Amino acid sequence: MLKLHSLSIKQKVVLGITFAVLASTIIVGVMAQRHARDVLSHRLIDIELPAMLQQINTEIDREVVQMQQAAKQLATNEFVVEALKNTDHPQFSETQLVQQLNNIKSQYGLNDASVANRKTAYYWNQNGFLRQLNHSQDAWFFGFTSSGRETSVSVFQEANGEVKMFTNYQDLNGISMSGLSKSMDDMVSLLNSFQIEDTGYVFLTNEKGDIQIHRQQGKNKTSIAQLFGSNANQLLNKNSFNLINVEFEGK
């Protein structure tokens, strides 16, 4: 074993310099690694994530606004309103009403387009008259017409996995109500195309935190609070970007 007291002064100086160089190299390496980690964290949290979410938000807003405008356009169409008023009149033309619905359906690439008389609950879609809606089967209709809200927007995932957006508009001072549905397959593809680092992904909730679109179907209709704990509700604050740290699946 090398004994320090047996070394010459020259050897001690060389050894001291060597230790000093090694120590400074290690310190610089640790600091550089920490700086690189901080830069990466800053880029992800302060730049990439907000930009990604803003892009998604813009796409969703565009779809929602377009659907709302189309629903209002349909419900306030003079011919549609007049037709809904005169369903028992000899001059009523169901053919023309159905043609209006098919025009809207084609124009906006919809799955379905429908109108109803808010007072009588008579209901048509692009295929013709369906029936008079009733409380036992159609609670959504009566809930909406009595809500006092002009519009409603919801996202629903069918059993086969297809995701649709539903938009309703009603004239609160009149008799007309419209309903539109559209496939959200493009939106689902957009959400699934985003990947955050190695394992991160994007999903969509409503304003209450209920999950609407998730790549794992079993998590739809659960809430972010159920998945990530009550602190996750902070993500619902009306800010441009919210961030929390949670433990999820042991990570």
Per-residue DSSP letter, 223: B
Concatenate the DSSP letters of all residues of 195-212 into one string. Answer: EETTTEE--EE-TTSBEE
pLDDT, residue 217, reads 73
Number of structural domains, the chain? 1
User: Which stretches of the chain drop beneath a pLDDT of 50?
Assistant: 90
What is the β-pairing status of strands 176-183 and 163-170? Answer: antiparallel
pLDDT, residue 222, reads 81
The CATH number of residue 80's host domain is 3.30.450.20
Judge whether 3 lies within some domain: no
What is the β-pairing status of strands 151-157 and 128-132? Answer: unpaired
pLDDT, residue 3, reads 55
Check if the beta carbon of residue 76 is closer than 8 Å to that of residue 176.
yes
Q: Name the β-bridge partners of 177.
A: 116, 170
pLDDT, residue 250, reads 62
Judge whether 223 lies within some domain: no
pLDDT, residue 103, reads 93
Helix, strand, or coil here: 65?
Answer: helix
pLDDT, residue 24, reads 62
Judge whether 51 lies within some domain: no
Question: In 10 A of CB 110, how many CB atoms?
Answer: 22
Enclosing domain of residue 124: 62-184
Question: In 10 A of CB 114, how many CB atoms?
Answer: 22
pLDDT, residue 40, reads 63
pTM: 0.70
d(CA 248, CA 229): 9
d(CA 59, CA 48): 17
pLDDT, residue 200, reads 72
Residues near 134 by beta carbon (within 8 Å), at least 6 away in sequence = 121
Structure tokens at 18: 């060597």
Judge whether 107 lies within some domain: yes
pLDDT, residue 121, reads 92
Phi, psi of 235 (to 5 degrees): -70, -15
Helix, strand, or coil here: 245?
Answer: coil
Phi, psi of 30 (to 5 degrees): -65, -45
Judge whether 72 lies within some domain: yes
Judge whether 57 lies within some domain: no
Judge whether 94 lies within some domain: yes
Check if the beta carbon of residue 168 is closer than 8 Å to that of residue 179.
yes
